[in-house]
Structure 1
C-alpha cells in the first residue's frame, strides 16, 4: 500500500479535476495527524518529533528553552490541522485520543507557569525576540477564527492562570516587520476576551505593519516573498473579521483593500494543476500561500475569485505534496520541498515547522454553503489560454508572473532582490522545474554565474577602483569560485519587453563595471533573452537553464547540435524537457551533472551557455538566447527550436542608446531591445 495520502471515493461531479471535496479535506487532515500522533501514547504525552540532523534547530547542546520552543512549535503548528478538525467535529479522535481534550490540556500546560511543560517567560531569558511569539501568533490566529475549539472550554480560573504567560509574550520585543503581526494577533485576542493590554503598543504595531504596504496587495518583508501573502494577507484578514473591523476600522480598511487587490493576481502564482512555485525563503512551508484561497471568501467582497477555480488550485497545491511518499520524513512533512533536503532549509526551522503549510485548512471554517465548497471545479483562465502565455506585471514588488498555456506551468520572475540567495535571485522560478542550489563551481541553474579573471583578483589583491594606487587584500581562493548576482533590479516593461539588471558585484568596489542588463521577451513555453553585458575586466560567464533531476537514478538525455552561429542543446527526463538556443555573444553550450543541489533528486543535469573574455577592457556584448521548456515527452520540432527569425544588432539604437537590437520572431512579431536610460529606471 502506498505510504502517502490517496483520495478515497473522489467526487468527479463536483470536483472533476482533483476529486477533492470538503470531506476529502477532513480525511486528509486526519491522515496527516494520524502520522504525527504515532508517538503520542495518551492525552498526557506532549507532542514532539525527532530532531533532524543538520542546520535545523535545536542543535546539540542548545539551551533548554530552545528544545521547549521546538516542542511548542510542534503543538501549535499541528493545531493548524487539529483546530479546523475540532471545528467541524468536536468529538473527533486521533489514535483514540480526543483532539479537543488533548490540545486543551497541552496548551494549558504550556501556558501555566510552574508546570513541567510550561514555556519560559520573557524575563527568564536574555532580552531578545524568540520563536515563541511566532507560535503565539499562529495559535491565536486560529483561536480568533474558531474560539470554540478549545478557548471556550476553559474555566475562568484556567484562563486567568494562562493569561500571565500569554500577555507577557504578547507585550514582549518583536522583530521589525512580519513578526509584529504575531504580537498584534495575540494582543487583540487578549483584548477581545476582556484582558488588559497596552493599547498604545497594539496601535503602534498596527501602524508599522500598515506602513509596509507597497502596492499591488504586497508588503515589504526583508525583500518581497510569500510572507506578504500568508502573513500580511491571510493572518490579517482573519484579524479583520474577528477584531479589526470593530476596534480599528481604518487600519482594517487598509488590510481589506490590499487583500482585495492581491486577489487580482493570486491565481497567476499557480500552475494549471495547482502546483505551487518553489520560491523565496521558508520553502518547507510550501502551500501556506494557498491559505489565501479560503481567505478570499472571508473578504467583504467575496466574488473576487472564481470559487471553483480557487478550490481547484488549493486542492492541487496540497496534492502536489501529500500524495508523494518522499514528502514524508519520520512520518511527518519533511524539511525541504518534495523531500528531506538539508541544503534547502533555514536554521530557524525545526522538525515541526512544515506543518505551517497546512494553513489552507482554515477553509474548514467556511460554512458548507460557501461557494468555496459548492462551486464546480474549473481551470479558470487556463481554459481559454490555449498555447499562449499570459504575463502579469506587479510593478510595486517588482514581480512578473507568467502563465504558459502551452506547458501548464507558471513562473515568477523577480525584480527587486537585495542579496545573493538562490531563494530569491534566480532569473525565473517555475512551478514544474523547482530551483537548484548555487554551485560555486559553475553552472548554477537559472542564474548568470560570474567568475573574475582579472589578474588582480586571481592574485588575491585588488587595485582600489578609485585610483589611489593602494592595494586591498582579498581572498584569491574565494575568487576562483563562481558567484551569482548580488542584486536584481527592476527597470520596468517597455513595448512588451521586460527590463531588469543583474548586479554581479556590489558597490563600493564595483563602480559600474559588473552589470548585466536583462531584456526578456515572453514566448509560449519560454523566453527570449537579449542581455547586455557591461563587465569591465577579464571574466568568465555562464547562463544556466532549469536543472533536471535524475529520478529513479535515470540521467537526463542530452542532445547538442548547431547551425552556423545558432547553437542548440536540449535535455530531457520523463515528462519534462528543456532547450537552450544561443544566437549571439556566447562561446559554447554544454552540460554538467550537479550533486546535492536539486529539490527532487541528489543528482541533476544542467545545460548552459559559456563565455570567457580575457581582454583587459572587454567590450559590451549582446547575449541573445532562447530558453524553452516542455512538460511532455514529444520530440522537439524544428519550428519549436526556431523561435527567432531575424536579429538586427545596432551599435546605436534609434533612441540613441548603445547596443540594442530588433528581434523578429518566427511568427512575425517584432521587438525592439533598447536599454536607453536603464540605469535611471532601476528600482529595488
Structure 2
C-alpha cells in the first residue's frame, strides 16, 4: 500500500507501473509547475513586472525583491513553455510578456532597477536571459520590437560590470552570451575571461570551489553594499549546492546558448558534469531528501538542475530510470512536506517558512530559484527519462561509506532506513569582514543529514552544540570551528583539524582539535585529540532532532538519546575522555520543526601538559586529551540506550593512540594529529 497524496492541490493519477516508487510522471511535474506559477498571481503588481510574495525583504530593498520574484518565476514559465513546444492553454505567457515590457520601461511605475557593479540585478538578469533563450520561438520572437530593444538596453550594462568573485561570474557570462546571440555584443573577451576565471576554481571530480580561497571583495552585512578591502582575507573552501544550481547549471546552459562558439568548452563541461553526478547521486536519501548542508537552502529542488542537465546533454552516468526516480522522489518529498505551502507558495525555509536558515541576501521571491529544478520538462515526453521504469537509488541498494575527497566529505548511507549523512572534514565558509565570528552553522558542523538540520539563530549560534566539538571557557564562551584543515578522506574514515576560536577569551595559537570519523554501519565513531588550556570544558554534540511535538530525551552516564515520535533517533555515547551526557532542548531554532533537542557529552580538560607548549611566559601550559564517542542517527527507532554502540566494539587508549576492536573484524589504530591517522581496519568497498 502507498500512502495517498497530500499535496494540497489536485495532481494527476499515479502510475505505479511506470513509476513504482513514486507514482509520479511528467504530468505531475507539469501540475506542480503550474501550481507554482498560478499561486504568484495575487502577489504580482498590476503591470506584471514585480512579483513580491509575502515575507521579510532582503537587504536589496523591495524594488529589487520584486525583480527577483519576477525573474526566477519567469525562468519556470520559460521552461514550462519550451517543454510544451509553445502550447499555453492557460495563456500564462501573455502576463509575463507584459511584465517584460513594463519592467524595461524607463520611468514606468514598475521599472526594474538598473544593473550596476556587483548588484543583485546581475543575478536576476541571468534568469531572464536564460528564460528568453529557452523560450525564444514562443516568447522573444513574438515580443514587440520596442520591448526587445528595451530588454537589450536593460541587459547591456552587465557587459564590463564588476561582479562578486564567485559563482556570480557566470551570471554575467550567460547574459553576455544571450546578447551575443542577438547580435548585440561583438566583443567576446568578457565571456571568455569569465569562463577562464571559473575554470580556476575547478578542483576535480566534478567539484568547483565557490570562488578563490583568498579574496578581497565582501558584502557588508550591515547594509548589503559590496566593498573592496585593502587586503585579501581567507574566504574558505566552499563546496555546496552551488556546484549543482550554479556552476554546472550555468556552464552547460551557456554551452547550449553558445552553440558552435562553445564546442570545445562544452565538451569539458560535460565531462565534469558526468564526474559530478557519479558522486552527487549519493547525497539523496531514499525519501528524496537532499542532505541539508550549505547556504541558499530555500532553493530546495533547484538541486535537481544538474541531474536533468546530465540527460539533456548526454553527460550523465545515471540510467534514465534513475534520473527520473531521483528527481521525482525529491520534488515529491518537498511537495508532500509543505513546499509549496497551502497557498501554493515557496516561503523562505526548508519545508515551511523558517527565516533563520536563510541569508540576508534572500528576498521573499528568492526560493523561486527552485525553477532550475524543472529543466527535465525540456526533454520530450517520449525521452527515455520519461518512459523508462524508475530505478532504485544507491542508498536503497546497499549501505556504504563513500569518500568525496575533493570537497572533504565522507557520505554515510544506510539501506535499512534510507538515511544519508554527510561527515564534513573539508568544506567551510568563512564569514567575510567586518564579521569576526567566521563560522556558519550550515558549513562548520562535523556532520549533516537528509533528515536533520543544524541549530541556527542567535541563541543556538552562541551554543554551537549540535555536531560540533567545542571548548567552553570558564566565562561560558564556546569555541568556533572555522578553517577546516583536511588530513584524509577515504572510504570508511575521514580526518581533519581546526584551531578553536573565541572572542574575548582568546585562545593560544597552539590550541588545536584533531578529529577522526570512522563509519561502522549507521554509527560514526569520533576520535578527537584536544590541546587546550586547563580549566576549560570539552563538549561534543550529536545530531539535532526537530519536530512539531516535544521530543523524548534520556541520559545515562555518558550516553544521551533523543527520540522523535516517528522513530527517528539521535544519540551519542562517550567511550573515553567524557564524564557526563546531557540533552539540551530548543525552540524555533531548527528548519525541521519548532521543537528541537540535541544530545551531547562533556568533560573537563585533561591534566597532562603538552611538552613545550604554553600560553605565554607566565601562563600554565596547554593540556592534551583524547576523547572517543559514538554518534548515531537512525530512523529504525532503537529504544535501549545500549543500542547506540556497535555490538562487540571495544576501545583502549594508550597515550595518544586509540585502538578500536570490533568483533570478527580487523582492528583500527587511530592516531589523531598524524599524517596517517588511521591504520588497519576493514576495507570499505566503494559502491558500484
State the Cα distance separating 1:680 from its structure 2 match.
Answer: 12
1:164 aligns with 2:153: yes
1:19 aligns with 2:34: no
1:600 aligns with 2:592: yes
State the Cα distance separating 1:80 from its structure 2 match.
Answer: 2.9
Aligned to 2:392: 379
1:224 aligns with 2:239: yes
Instruction: Using the TM superposition, name which of 612-621 and 256-265 deviates more.
Output: 612-621
TM-score (norm 2): 0.84
The whole-number CA distance in structure 1 between the counterparts of 2:40 and 2:324 is 25
The whole-number CA distance in structure 2 between the counterparts of 1:211 and 1:203 is 13
The whole-number CA distance in structure 2 between the counterparts of 1:327 and 1:609 is 38
> Which blocks of at least 5 consecutive residues in structure 1 are unaligned?
459-479, 652-658
State the Cα distance separating 1:217 from its structure 2 match.
Answer: 0.7
State the Cα distance separating 1:583 from its structure 2 match.
Answer: 0.8
Instruction: Using the TM superposition, name which of 282-291 and 251-260 deviates more.
Output: 251-260
State the Cα distance separating 1:394 from its structure 2 match.
Answer: 2.1
The whole-number CA distance in structure 2 between the counterparts of 1:351 and 1:448 is 34
Aligned to 2:559: 568
State the Cα distance separating 1:609 from its structure 2 match.
Answer: 0.4
> In 2, are the aligned partners of 1:50 and 1:330 still within 8 Å (CA)?
no
Aligned to 2:410: 400
Query: Where does 1:513-532 land on structure 2 (aligned, <5 Å)?
Result: 513-532=510-529
Aligned to 2:482: 486
1:673 aligns with 2:670: yes
Listed one character per residue, the Cα deviations across residues 167-203 of structure 1 (whole Å, up to 9, x for unaligned) are 1134422111211111110110111122224321121
> In 1, are the aligned partners of 2:7 and 2:335 still within 8 Å (CA)?
no
Query: Where does 1:316-355 land on structure 2 (aligned, <5 Å)?
Result: 316-325=329-338, 328=341, 331-355=344-368
Query: Where does 1:15-414 land on structure 2 (aligned, <5 Å)?
Result: 15-40=19-44, 44-53=47-56, 56-57=57-58, 66-89=61-84, 90-92=86-88, 98-122=91-115, 128-222=117-211, 223-243=238-258, 245-302=259-316, 304-325=317-338, 328=341, 331-385=344-398, 389-414=399-424
State the Cα distance separating 1:440 from its structure 2 match.
Answer: 5.1
Q: Secondary structure at the match of 1:516?
A: strand
The whole-number CA distance in structure 2 between the counterparts of 1:637 and 1:348 is 43
Query: Where does 1:501-580 land on structure 2 (aligned, <5 Å)?
Result: 501-505=497-501, 510-551=507-548, 554-562=549-557, 567-575=558-566, 576-580=568-572
> Which blocks of at least 5 consecutive residues in structure 2 are unaligned?
212-237, 431-438, 608-619, 679-688
> In 2, are the aligned partners of 1:539 and 1:614 still within 8 Å (CA)?
no
Q: Structure 1 runs of 4+ off > 6 angstroms?
A: 506-509
1:664 aligns with 2:682: no
State the Cα distance separating 1:103 from its structure 2 match.
Answer: 1.2
> In 2, are the aligned partners of 1:5 and 1:322 still within 8 Å (CA)?
no
Structure-2 change in CA distance of 1:41 and 1:29 (3 Å): same
State the Cα distance separating 1:2 from its structure 2 match.
Answer: 6.3
Aligned to 1:449: 470
The whole-number CA distance in structure 2 between the counterparts of 1:266 and 1:259 is 10
Aligned to 2:215: none
State the Cα distance separating 1:427 from its structure 2 match.
Answer: 0.4
State the Cα distance separating 1:40 from its structure 2 match.
Answer: 4.9
Q: Secondary structure at the match of 2:372?
A: helix
> In 2, are the aligned partners of 1:293 and 1:310 still within 8 Å (CA)?
yes
Q: Secondary structure at the match of 2:484?
A: strand
> In 2, are the aligned partners of 1:327 and 1:337 still within 8 Å (CA)?
no
The whole-number CA distance in structure 1 between the counterparts of 2:646 and 2:27 is 49
The whole-number CA distance in structure 2 between the counterparts of 1:599 and 1:339 is 8
The whole-number CA distance in structure 2 between the counterparts of 1:525 and 1:589 is 21
The whole-number CA distance in structure 2 between the counterparts of 1:267 and 1:495 is 16
The whole-number CA distance in structure 1 between the counterparts of 2:413 and 2:124 is 35
Aligned to 1:461: none
Query: Where does 1:575-586 land on structure 2 (aligned, <5 Å)?
Result: 575=566, 576-586=568-578
TM-score (norm 1): 0.85
The whole-number CA distance in structure 2 between the counterparts of 1:403 and 1:88 is 35
Give the one of 416, 420, 427 matched to 2:427.
416
The whole-number CA distance in structure 2 between the counterparts of 1:51 and 1:495 is 45
The whole-number CA distance in structure 2 between the counterparts of 1:342 and 1:530 is 34
Q: Secondary structure at the match of 1:332?
A: coil
The whole-number CA distance in structure 2 between the counterparts of 1:118 and 1:441 is 42
Instruction: Using the TM superposition, name which of 626-635 and 14-23 deviates more.
Output: 626-635
Listed one character per residue, the Cα deviations across residues 55-104 of structure 1 (whole Å, up to 9, x for unaligned) are x425xxx7xxx32211111111112321122224434355xxx2111111
State the Cα distance separating 1:397 from its structure 2 match.
Answer: 2.1
Structure-2 change in CA distance of 1:6 and 1:530 (3 Å): farther
Structure-2 change in CA distance of 1:494 and 1:323 (3 Å): closer
State the Cα distance separating 1:134 from its structure 2 match.
Answer: 0.2
Listed one character per residue, the Cα deviations across residues 142-173 of structure 1 (whole Å, up to 9, x for unaligned) are 33333224112124443223211111134422
Structure-2 change in CA distance of 1:34 and 1:599 (3 Å): same
The whole-number CA distance in structure 2 between the counterparts of 1:156 and 1:501 is 60
The whole-number CA distance in structure 2 between the counterparts of 1:581 and 1:202 is 54
